[in-house]
Amino acid sequence: MIGQALQRQTFVPIPDFINVDSVSFRFDGRQLALGNVKLTIPLGQFVCLLGPSGCGKTTLLNLIAGFLAPTDGYVFVNGKVVDGPGPDRGMVFQDYSLFPWLTVLKNIEFGPDIAGMRASARRERAMHYLDLVNLGHIADSYPTQLSGGMKQRVAIARALAAGPKVLLMDEPFAALDAMTRSKLQLELIRIHELERPTILFVTHNIDEAIRLADRVLVMSPNPGRVVSDVTIDMEKPRARTSVEFSRLYDRFEAEIGLESS
């Protein structure tokens, strides 16, 4: 009895960190791009949004980022309604979006600088994240001198250095070759285990979703909506050769195939 009471007292529920509350969205004069999406994501979860082209993955990400406002419904992050972009949400795009006129280090310092952090502290912070993505040795290089994989690692470090609780990633590895993509997937898993940001990662690659996600949300179009919500509790990194991996692969392939036909 006493044990039970103690357990109850010390139990701290994980707060719902992102809450998409009955959200619909329509671009001007178009069909609904998203229809009545309801979603709750706890703090620290790594979630992949998986679905065919045009099902609204990027639109949903942009609504959570605050780049778009819902036509109906609300998005809450950490209990506050989203009414625009904010430093609690960092974005990583497919095309890296680094500032070509700044060195790698200055690119990463950009967010902390805007936030008013003093020079020595923001340098230390930038170096921490540069080391985290294994690029401490290229701090003084410029983005044009880097490979695609290196640019994307810098973009991830830059997003993390701004101190967001949520990392919104829009097909960040889609432009990379297969080997670099695989390597960056493993790096992202390691970074998530170390720093525990909440991650929302858009992909239309089933293999990538199963490798990365604690939870996969399958979306389908017309209007965009979540049709399947699957928790994956296999240990990471995940072997593609495992029975569970291929079972999930077949399941997602069927769901995406059926829903988009």
Token pair of 204 as six digits: 């239309």
Nearest residue to 77 via CA among 39, 120, 109:
39
**Contact by Cβ (8 Å): 35, 223:** yes
51 binds ligand ATP (CB under 6 A): yes
The distance of closest approach from Cβ of residue 260 to ligand ATP in the complex, given in angstroms and rounded to an integer, is 11
Cα separation, 164 vs 161, in Å, equals: 8
What is the dihedral sign for C-alpha 80, 82, 85, 90?
A: positive
**Contact by Cβ (8 Å): 52, 76:** no
Considering beta carbons, is residue 78 or 260 the nearer one to ligand ATP?
260
**Which residue in the set 19, 45, 58, 152 belongs to the binding site for ligand ATP (CB under 6 A)?**
58
Residue 64: φ, ψ to 5° = -70, -35
* 3-class SS of residue 177: coil
Using CB under 6 A as the binding rule, the residues of this chain from 130 to 189 that contact ligand ATP are none
101 binds ligand ATP (CB under 6 A): no
Most distant pair of Cα atoms in the chain: their distance: 65
Nearest residue to 199 via CA among 216, 183, 224, 182:
216
27 binds ligand ATP (CB under 6 A): yes
Considering beta carbons, is residue 34 or 133 the nearer one to ligand ATP?
34
Considering beta carbons, is residue 63 or 191 the nearer one to ligand ATP?
63
CB atoms within 10 A of CB 148: 16
Cα separation, 155 vs 95, in Å, equals: 9
Of 10-18, 56-64, 81-89, 138-146, the segment contacting ligand ATP by CB under 6 A is 56-64
The distance of closest approach from Cβ of residue 94 to ligand ATP in the complex, given in angstroms and rounded to an integer, is 9
Of 27-35, 143-151, 178-186, 243-251, the segment contacting ligand ATP by CB under 6 A is 27-35
**Contact by Cβ (8 Å): 223, 56:** yes
Considering beta carbons, is residue 70 or 143 the nearer one to ligand ATP?
70
55 binds ligand ATP (CB under 6 A): yes
* Residue 9 burial class via C-beta count within 10 angstroms: exposed 0-12, middle 13-18, buried 19 and up: exposed
Using CB under 6 A as the binding rule, the residues of this chain from 215 to 254 that contact ligand ATP are 224
**Which residue in the set 20, 23, 33, 64 belongs to the binding site for ligand ATP (CB under 6 A)?**
33
The distance of closest approach from Cβ of residue 141 to ligand ATP in the complex, given in angstroms and rounded to an integer, is 30
| Residues 6+ away with beta carbon under 8 Å from 111 | 87, 90, 158, 159, 161, 162, 163
**Which residue in the set 53, 120, 241, 261 belongs to the binding site for ligand ATP (CB under 6 A)?**
53
The distance of closest approach from Cβ of residue 102 to ligand ATP in the complex, given in angstroms and rounded to an integer, is 28
The distance of closest approach from Cβ of residue 151 to ligand ATP in the complex, given in angstroms and rounded to an integer, is 20
203 binds ligand ATP (CB under 6 A): no
- Which residues of the chain form contacts with ligand ATP (CB under 6 A)? 27, 30, 33, 51, 53-59, 204, 224
